[in-house]
Amino acid sequence: MELAAHTWQELEEYLEETSLALVPVGSTEQHGPHLPESTDHTIAEALAQEAAERGDYLCTPTVNIGVSPHHKQFAGTMWVDAPVFRDYMESLVRNLTYHGIDRVVFVNAHGGNVEHLQEVGRRLYDDEVAYSVEWMWDNSIPDLVDDLFEQNGPHAGPKETSMVWYIEDNVREEKLEEARDGGLVDLEDAETMKHGARTFYDAVDNSGNGGFGDPTDASAEKGKQLFEAASEQLVHLCDWMAAQDAEDLMPASRVAERSE
């Protein structure tokens, strides 16, 4: 059920029977010359809505802007500071708990959000407010991603290109070769580690046009495979979380109490 599409009376009845919500989280940032800046939140929203429909779970509106300062040199990229993002996401979940939600899946499609969503989950867990987990779609299907693409890349590569192609057919096909040739195809060619230290902070330091991997290897057909497989994994995660007793999802008792 999409929360924003229903009235409060319809939601009041629905929320009496559910305890889990999916919160799609993405970004608005450059994705090379061939993909729209909506790429991450488009993917997150599509997956969350699909899983919510398949499993009859609640899906909230999408958080469209995340932690993206590492893409700031490219026109149009938007971001919020990491502490602000963490506080906002924590407040959002606390709002959901007011309505009876006690477990949340952050359906994430932006790598820059990962550590911050995990920190939010830790805060809520430690306070015994809610059980929240960060779920990154491509991390749920790593073998399929590796099988489909020889040079995937972590950003604006063939996996994201394929997903956008399938979800909304919004790929600049005439720009695919430019994205490959002007970007960084193989991460091993990036000279960004010096004596054990990572020496870069911004994407432009590695890729002149913001693309990574080989997007010419993308297709809508591959996007469908990725979307179906990731959706299935997300539904399985939601089913598992929904089946747990609430107290089992909260922190265990203190050591002294457990040893009695």
Mean pLDDT on 157-186: 97
Separation CA 58–CA 22 (nearest Å) = 6
Predicted confidence (pLDDT) per residue in 207-243, tens digit? 999 999 999 999 999 999 999 999 999 999 999 999 9
Domain 3-258 has CATH 3.40.1390.10: no
Predicted confidence (pLDDT) per residue in 137-167, tens digit? 999 999 999 999 999 988 999 999 999 999 9
What rounded mean pLDDT belongs to the chain?
95
**The whole model's pTM is what?**
0.95
User: Could you give the C-alpha distances from 172 to 35, 38, 154, 179, in angstroms and in order?
Assistant: 6, 13, 19, 10
- Domain segments of the chain as ranges: 3-258
Per-residue model confidence (pLDDT) at position 16: 93
Per-residue model confidence (pLDDT) at position 188: 77
Q: Which amino acid is at 131?
A: Y
Q: Which two tokens stand for residue 207?
A: 């890729």
pLDDT band of 46, cuts 50, 70, 90? very high
